[in-house]
Structures are given as structure tokens and as C-alpha cells.
Amino acid sequence: MRMYDLIEKKKLGEELSTQEIYHIVNGYTNGEIPDYQISALLMAIYFRGMNVRERYDLTMAMRDSGDILDLSSIDGVKIDKHSTGGVGDKVTLVLGPIIASIGVPVAKMSGRGLGHTGGTIDKLEAFPGFNGALSEEAFINQVNNIKIAVTGQSKNLAPADKKLYALRDVTATVDEISLITGSIMSKKLAAGTDAIVLDVTVGDGAFMKTKEKALELAKSMVDIGKRADKKIAAVLTNMDEPLGFAVGNNLEVIEAINALKGNGPEDLMEVVYELGSQMIVFSEIETDKVKARKLMENAVADGSAFNKFVEFIQAQGGDSSFATDISKFEPAKYVVPVEAQSDGYVHALKAEAFGLASMSLGGGRETFEDVIDMAVGIVLNKKVGDEIKKGEPICYIHANDESKIKNAMEMINSATVIAPEKCNHMDLIIDIVE
């Protein structure tokens, strides 16, 4: 079959067959089809879309382009959790140990941060010595032994996605539902778990800015998961403001440690408990979500969740003494308040700008080669709905380069809305797709 004909077919809005989709994905992965033809096809898909059958075939072809983990030797229902990204999102650091302490096997593939969204592996590397690149054997053994392991994606897990995403990124074809679905779900299905819980973030700091688009993506991913015989659900969570108070690697790790000790921000814990209760129900340890949540609350209250976190860090070579003594994390040289310019109520803390401000301080990457400054970031003093007085800190900037503080402060001020009228705190759980 000729690639020219397949581009023409999709350009006219016609369906690509299963065989044609596999031919395209395999040909591009193997270097037999050039970038310029795939670029044309991506643009045709962007404008014409794909139906649910095509999406499934695209996802499975991408999954089948590399290794597929066999986790059958792990006892119990193996569960992965995936977030579409956000600002201050340290959910995995809190959720994973809680769930594992209850006895649910958490086999998690995670990525690194890019742009204004953080990466779980980066945050875990705040613990000196932490190994975020486990072998398949070590990964399986660790989940069997302590019920949790978190590792980076291997180079040969859905390699088609890596090539296709790089091309989508430079051809303005990233934000198309079929392509996003294929990208996320091909990796999740290749990771070999029995169940997947998706945290689909919505709002200013999320990839999906509107509930409508987020819901469309959630439904698409859940449909693919079910077609692949996985237990799957998606929870839409609010990312109009940063999650929790901390933005930045060490700062978020410290907040996660405090959360596991029972001192977590309300919004962070609401997301953790909603996602976790779904994971526990999938595991069949508990069938009722209310009772599942109670199991999680008890695991935090009795210290077993925090103890599991310490065990997890140790198992992957990290220095867990940082968890038991957070003063070991090296602080930033400068901690500067950003003060409110008027009395009133906080109506907006636009999450994306806070993420970009943290990145500008050195807390994130513009390219994968950039080195992150683990100590820098932002710690909020107020959340949307809170009352604030003129001169009171909105947040604190943690910086190591004094010359970068002014720009970050300007970004934060422009992203903060204070008005005299009272307003409500944000609802965190927007919708659930099962």
C-alpha cells in the first residue's frame, strides 16, 4: 500500500483500516516512512479525526511497536494511575504509598517534567540515590515484595509514541483527541497492569482547558481501556489553581511527606482519596468507595502509609532519612513574599502562570536536556476563596538566583485576581467517567 493513498484517504475523511494503521505505525517506527508524509497524515487526522475503531487500532499499533510488560507474576490486581499533568501535582507521591500500605499492588510507570508541569521521577530524585530506571525484573520483584514501584518508561515501551509525539510537537498537531488518546493509552497498555485510574486535569494549568474537551478525552481513553479488557476509570479534577500549596520539586516532596503524616492540604487529599478509592474498588479489597476511602484515611492516621513511603524510597536506593528529617532538603537561598496589593478575596491563582514562574526560577525544563534546580519554586499562602489583606503574602518565592525573582513576581501578580466580593473555594472533583 502507498502512503500517498493513505494520506489522501484520510484527507477526504475516510476510515483507515486496521491493516493500514498498523502499516503506517510500523513503517514510521522502523524508519521506512519519512517524517514529511507522517506530518501530512497527522494534519489530515487533526482536521478529519478518527472514529472509535480507528482510535483503538492506532493505540494498539503503537502499543505493539515495542515491548509489552508481562506483570502476570505479580500477585493481585496490578494498578497504574496516570495524570494528564498539572501544577503542584504531587498526587502519586501521596497516593501510591497509601494504596500499597492497604495491600494493593501499585506498578507505576512515570515520566519527567517538561514545561510548566512537573514529573514524578524528578521529584523522587530529590532523595539522593533514588533509582528511577528499574529493570523489568527489579520492578516486578519490588511490587511483589513491598506492593509499590515507580520507574521511568523504558526506551522500547511504545517507541512509536516517542517518534510520533516529537513530530506532533513541531507540526501543531498535539491537541487532537485521537492522537492524545493513542499517545497516553499505548504506554498505559504496554505497561501491563490490570487496571488503570486516570486523573484528567481540567482548567488553566491543565492540557485540557475546558470541561467539554477533558470529558471527551476521558471518555475516549476509558473506551480504549475497556476495549483492551482493562478495568479503567477517569476522574476529572480541577487545575485552575495549583494543587496543594507547593510548586517545585523539593517543596512538593516535603508537602507530600507532610500529607502522608496527616497534614495534607484539603484539595490535594480530596484528589488522592477520590482516585485511591477507585483503585481499591478495582483491586476488589473493598467494593464500596466510601469504605475504601475510610481504609485510606486509616492508613494515614495509623502511620502505615508514611512507613510504606519510607520503605519504598529505601527499596529504590533513595536516602529515606530525608523523609524522616525534612530539614535535610537543601533550602533555596532566597525566600521572598509576594504581597497582595489590596484587601479582598482571592478569586484566581492562574495555575499555568504559577507553573511557568517556577520554571523561570529553574524549577522546570524547557527542553529534556535542562537541569532542574530542586530547591526553587513557590509556596502559596492563600487559595481561591480565601480572604486576604493588603500587604499579606499571596505566596513565597523560593529562589537561588536573585536576578530571577522580579520576573517571577511579575508573573505571579499578573496571575492573581483579588476582588472585594466573597467567592467559594474550588470544587476539586468535576466529573467521573467509568
Longest CA–CA separation in the chain, Å = 68
pLDDT above 70: residue 51: yes
CATH code for the domain in which residue 199 is found = 3.40.1030.10
What value does the mean pLDDT take over residues 306-333? 97
> Residue 428 falls within a domain, yes or no?
no
Say whether 273 sits in a helix, a strand or coil: helix
pLDDT at 113: 61
Q: Which domain holds residue 389?
A: 332-419
pLDDT above 60: residue 320: yes
Instruction: Give phi and psi for 90, each to the nearest 5.
Output: -110, 30
b/e map 324-363, b = 16+ CB within 10 Å: eeeeebeebebebebbbeeebbbebbbbbbbbbbbbbbbb
> Residue 73 falls within a domain, yes or no?
no
> Residue 339 falls within a domain, yes or no?
yes
45-to-8, 41, 119 alpha-carbon distances in Å? 11, 6, 29
Q: In one letter, which amino acid is 297?
A: E
Same domain, 139 and 155: yes
Torsion angle of the four alpha carbons 227, 45, 215, 239, in this order, in degrees rounded to the nearest 10:
120
Same domain, 252 and 355: no
Neighbours of 86 (CB within 10 A): 30
> In the structure grid, which three cell numbers stand for residue 85, read together?
499533568
Same domain, 84 and 106: yes
Same domain, 225 and 297: yes
- Give tens-digit pLDDT for 170-209: 999 998 999 999 999 999 999 999 999 999 999 999 989 9
pLDDT above 90: residue 367: no
pLDDT at 114: 61
pLDDT at 118: 67
Question: Distance (Å, rounded) from C-alpha 291 to C-alpha 288?
Answer: 5
Among 324, 350, 366, the domain boundary falls at 324
Q: In one letter, which amino acid is 181?
A: T
Residue in 386, 381, 86, 112 with CA at minimum distance from that of residue 237: 86
Same domain, 142 and 255: yes
Q: At what angle do helices 266-283 and 91-102 cross, to 10 degrees?
A: 40
CATH code for the domain in which residue 18 is found = 1.20.970.10
Given a contact cutoff of 8 angstroms between Cβ atoms, the answer to whether 24 and 189 are in contact is: no
Same domain, 289 and 350: no
Domain count, the chain: 3
pLDDT at 117: 67
Same domain, 142 and 97: yes
Same domain, 43 and 153: no
Q: Kindly indicate the confidence band of residue 110, based on its pLDDT and cuts at 50, 70 and 90.
A: confident
> Residue 382 falls within a domain, yes or no?
yes
> Residue 220 falls within a domain, yes or no?
yes
pLDDT at 89: 92
Please count the helices (runs of H) and the strands (runs of E) in the chain.
Answer: 17, 13
Same domain, 121 and 194: yes
| Higher per-residue confidence, 163 vs 156 | 163
Reported residue count of the chain is 434
What value does the mean pLDDT take over residues 240-264? 97
Q: Considering the entire predicted model, what is its pTM?
A: 0.94
> Residue 71 falls within a domain, yes or no?
no
What value does the mean pLDDT take over residues 141-155? 91
pLDDT above 80: residue 115: no
Same domain, 146 and 14: no
> Residue 345 falls within a domain, yes or no?
yes
pLDDT above 70: residue 142: yes
Same domain, 295 and 401: no
- Give tens-digit pLDDT for 334-366: 999 999 999 999 999 999 999 999 999 999 877
Instruction: Measure CA 41 to chain center.
Output: 28
> Residue 367 falls within a domain, yes or no?
yes
Same domain, 9 and 90: no
Active site residues: 82, 161, 168, 183, 187
pLDDT at 14: 97
- DSSP secondary structure code for residue 66 in this structure: S
pLDDT above 70: residue 404: yes
Q: What is the mean pLDDT of the chain?
A: 95
